[in-house]
């Protein structure tokens, strides 16, 4: 787990390893995180995350220069290590853009920084995460059709620094290097073989009630509202239903199985929504996203079944539960609810109802 690794490493004694080479102006050091690569930040199945370290110690700055990606949504979140209230976040519509380019700076104080700046307070460094939801090239490089932004470190006087110099944290550098050296390998628990699930002729109800959260928790996305339903298919298959919100259509995708997609000019209720399995260790399992979910004819309601295997007869929407030994929850994600919809998001008919049903042998 990334959170555990960082908390352990950054509370340990300084490393004796040499300084990492400067990454000033480099776009080659980003670490990819997806359901197929590392899978450590609970990425959605149709999102790609990229992360690296940032440093702001003693007036140092971390500076990004990039081209605007083609994606449903993109953002940056800076998580201090150890995490505290100085966590800062900015998403696409909040980032100054000109001619298809942008610049983003992280600094302890933004008073003399031009352009978009994340004020990190009295923190020295941590993890910077770039999130792209449904990038145009999600199934290949996952950068949104443009190069990744360059990331560099500099002193208050503009001198080029390494991440270690900018953060004064050899441990942070070592943790980033350890993930980079994994070359995207998935955790062992996600690739091992588990015993097959047993039939459940009589379901065990009631299921747990959903728990609502709004971007809280380690390395959470502040733009998301979530409903989490604790899950174990030892009690049967889980069936969930809710009224589906409208969502922002993709300018580069045309296939959808429902008619709830809306262009930005029509003010969709959310930017994006999805249902994903959360596995132990903060890993993501199977997902269904908004444009993949079939809606019941004549309604705006969807029903989905969570089962060890898919498809399941009688259900148009099926989500693979993952091994019973790893199951934690089903997570219903609403991204950037519009101001008018936010009071209703994950409430009333927009909140999941859940029940367990029998699973035949």
Catalogue all structural domains in the chain, each as residue range(s) with its CATH number: 2-14+22-188 (2.60.40), 211-357 (2.60.120)
At 3 the pLDDT is 52
pLDDT in tens, 248-307: 998 787 689 999 999 999 999 999 999 999 999 999 999 999 999 999 999 999 999 999
- Report pTM: 0.92
Mean pLDDT, residues 88-93? 97
Q: Is residue 86 over pLDDT 90?
A: no
Q: Indicate the pLDDT class of residue 5, thresholds 50, 70 and 90.
A: low
- The long-range contacts involving 305-310, CB below 8 angstroms and separated by at least 24 positions, are 305/237, 305/238, 305/239, 305/357, 306/231, 306/233, 306/237, 306/238, 306/239, 306/240, 306/277, 306/330, 307/233, 307/237, 307/359, 308/196, 308/197, 308/233, 308/359
Beta-sheet pairing, 318-320 with 301-307: parallel
pLDDT tens profile 109-121: 999 898 999 999 9
Q: Are 317 and 302 in contact (CB under 8 A)?
A: yes
Q: What pLDDT sits at residue 27? A: 78
């Amino acid at each position: 787990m990334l959170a555990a690794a960082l908390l352990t490493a950054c509370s340990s004694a300084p490393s004796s390893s040499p300084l990492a080479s400067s990454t000033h102006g480099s776009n080659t050091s980003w670490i990819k995180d997806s359901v197929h690569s590392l899978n450590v930040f609970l990425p959605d199945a149709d999102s790609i995350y990229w992360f690296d370290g940032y440093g702001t110690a003693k007036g140092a700055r971390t500076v990004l220069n990039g081209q605007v990606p083609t994606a449903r949504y993109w953002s940056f979140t800076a998580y201090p290590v150890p995490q505290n209230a100085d966590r800062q976040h900015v998403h696409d519509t909040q980032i100054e853009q000109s001619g298809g380019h942008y610049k983003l700076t992280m600094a302890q104080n933004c008073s003399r920084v031009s352009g978009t700046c994340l004020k990190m307070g009295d923190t020295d460094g941590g993890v910077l995460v770039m999130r792209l939801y449904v990038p145009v090239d999600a199934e290949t490089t996952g950068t949104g059709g443009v190069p990744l932004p360059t990331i560099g470190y500099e002193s208050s006087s503009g001198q080029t620094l390494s991440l270690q110099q900018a953060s004064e944290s050899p441990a942070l550098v070592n943790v980033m290097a350890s993930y980079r050296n994994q070359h995207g390998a998935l955790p062992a628990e996600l690739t091992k073989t588990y015993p097959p699930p047993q039939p459940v002729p009589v379901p065990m109800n009631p299921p747990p009630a959903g728990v609502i959260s709004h971007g809280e928790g380690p390395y959470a996305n502040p733009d998301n509202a979530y409903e989490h339903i604790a899950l174990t298919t030892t009690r049967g298959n889980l069936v969930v239903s809710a009224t589906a919100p409208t969502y922002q259509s993709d300018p580069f995708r045309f296939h959808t199985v429902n008619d709830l997609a809306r262009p930005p000019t029509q003010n969709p209720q959310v930017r994006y929504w999805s249902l994903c399995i959360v596995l132990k260790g903060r890993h993501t399992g199977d997902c269904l996203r908004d444009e993949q979910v079939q809606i019941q004819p004549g309604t705006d309601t969807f029903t989905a079944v969570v089962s060890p295997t898919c498809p399941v007869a009688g259900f148009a929407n099926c989500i693979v539960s993952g091994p019973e030994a790893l199951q934690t929850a089903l997570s219903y994600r609403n991204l950037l609810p519009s101001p008018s919809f936010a009071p209703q998001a994950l409430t009333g008919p927009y909140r999941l109802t859940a029940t367990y049903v029998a699973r035949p042998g």
